Chains A and B, each alone.
Chain A
Amino acid sequence: MKKMAVLLMAAFMMSATVPVFAAEMTKEEKDQCLLASKNCATEVDTLQKKIKKLNAEIKKGKKVYSADEIKKLQQKLDEANALLDDILKGGGN
């Protein structure tokens, strides 16, 4: 019985640490990553998308986030805006 418990615990711990594999598609689904470069596991947000997401989360306000968390999100939004400005700004010939 104890052996079983240990194995179950190990299995549970492993399953909790591999969420990426858990979300994989089933055989019948189309691979949208190969087909249309969408939903790829390694997909990274563009700055514009990051800014959009951060704005949406900040809008949720104190119903969802604590004051400190909102401050942190705001700081990340400021950073993303500054990076975008830096990338787009002219000069430097």
Chain B
Amino acid sequence: MKKKVLAVSAACALTAATAVPALALENEFHGMFRVFGTISNYNDGGSGQILPTDTGAYSTGVLKYNGVDPKTKSFVEQRARLMYIAKANDDLKLVTHFEIDSRWGDTSYANGRNGGGAVGADTVNFETKNVYLDFNIPSTPMNFKVGIQPIVDSYKGIFINADAAAALATAKLGDGSVLVGFSRLDDADTFTLGSATATRVASTPGKAKRDLYIVDGKYNITKDVKVGASYYLLNVDQTAAAAYDYMLHTVGVNAEVKLAPLTLDGFLLYQSGRSNGADKIDLNGWAANLTAKGKLGPGTLKASFLYASGEQNGTRDDSTYRGITNETSTANGEHSFYESDMMIMFRNKMNITGDRAIVYNVKNVIGGFVGYNANITPKAFANVNAGFVATDKSNDDFGTGRVNGGGHKSNYLGTEINGEVGYKVFDNLTASLQGAYVFLGDYYKDTVGTAANPDDPRNPYVGRIMLNYAF
């Protein structure tokens, strides 16, 4: 009997020891690798806004471009992203996401991001994009994401599309969901824009900060009709004495309707706030979008419209629409409108370190975009896009006025045409050729040269060859 008990116990122990894969950690790796070869008279491999009226003066690291006589630049840049997910089970995982960027020939044996492409390589260039915990509360509809994570608004990214430290809670309720969140965008003495060093409250966490509070609801009325509404509160608590101390309330509504074969979607955003300090500037901006997409032949035809308000004079009240910006670097935009599919007028979704655009921050702009994506064969694809872009108010947001006086001749910034042809070497490896050209509008008429000999800046162009592997 004793032996039988022993045998049964041994069998049970062995069974238990070998039958616990459910408790084991699932290791998930994903990532991507992209290489761009670029030739351009515009993109210089840096990031941020470049204006056709820039004169080549090299200031704050941005203005290498010379609109009168832009030099042809050629460079190759690469980006690798590695994502590791430690998944305990379906309800609990840690997500980490890293990035390594280099421009061929840039630096070697250095300590710092965006380098290591020069002979010798060996550079400390490992960036951490995301580290966050993603978990569900069992038997409830609640999901939490806590840590440094990607945040994308419900407005195609024109308010925020960035990595940020945040705590987001989402409740799924029937056909709807509600997200409530908090993000600390930046803190203490990290500000480089808007406030003078002397007025900062240095090294006191929580005393000079920008916080973002998010409430975002979505509801599927039917399978084909979805609506949403949001409230974002940006608390800019930088210094009590300046215009950079305000609460900006942003409310928005969005909808998507499928009317086969068309899909229509769009949004409306309104912003309101008042700065503290002596000036008490009223902030009132708004933005709107409408997009229609539909199958046509072997591809998809898209037409899109975007409006973001601007300001004529900037005193007492400011009607500029404002997305979230970065205040710790000169790159600035932590929002985007990738849906435009532009390559020069707006930031392009495929850009890596060479992330240049005329309309870098979405503000003071009216744009119409049409595009067609086609799958020529299961392996080959092509797309063409055209964008027609103007300013809302005729100020100097996108370049200085005429050199012989009189501001800008028109609000029209320019027309961009671009295209791409590509081939899927494998399911997850794509090779493509891209090109873009901008016919600058009369906004730039006579804006470079001298008062005696005014000139127009040259039209920007870019050509790229890209390899993209994602897994």
Contact = CB atoms under 8 A, between A and B. Distances in A.
A79 B14 CA distance: 37
A36 to B, nearest CB: 14
B88 to A, nearest CB: 16
Interface string A23-55: 000000000000000000000101111000000
A93 B348 CA distance: 12
B4 interface: yes
Contacts of A91: 161-162, 333, 336, 347, 351, 355
Interface string A12-23: 011011100000
A17 B15 contact: yes
Contacts of B4: 2-3, 6
A51 B350 CA distance: 21
Contacts of A13: 11-12, 14-15
A60 interface: no
Interface residues of B, number: 48
Contacts of A2: 4
B11 A6 contact: yes
Given A46-B428, A47-B30, A92 B163 contact: yes
A14 B14 contact: yes
Contacts of A47: 30, 470-471
B114 interface: yes
Contacts of A9: 8, 11
B190 to A, nearest CB: 17
Contacts, number: 96
Interface string B83-117: 10000000000000101010000000000001000
Interface in B1-53: 3-4, 7-8, 10-12, 14-15, 18-19, 27-32, 46-47
A84 B97 CA distance: 12
A92 B99 contact: yes
Interface in A40-78: 44, 46-49
Given A86-B150, A87-B83, A93-B114, A14 B18 contact: yes
Main secondary structure of the interface of B (DSSP, over half): mixed
A10 B11 contact: yes
B418 to A, nearest CB: 15
A2 B150 CA distance: 61
Nearest to A46: B471
A6 to B, nearest CB: 5
B81 interface: yes
B71 interface: no
A49 B114 CA distance: 31
Contacts of A7: 7
Interface string A79-93: 000011011111111
Contacts of A14: 11, 14-15, 18
Nearest to B30: A47
Interface in B154-177: 161-163
Contacts of B97: 86-87
Interface of B: 3-4, 7-8, 10-12, 14-15, 18-19, 27-32, 46-47, 81, 83, 97, 99, 101, 114, 129-130, 150, 161-163, 331, 333, 336, 338, 347-353, 355, 427-428, 468, 470-471
Given A92-B163, A93-B114, 11 more contacts: A10-B15, A14-B18, A18-B18, A84-B470, A86-B97, A89-B338, A90-B348, A91-B351, A93-B331, A93-B353, A93-B355
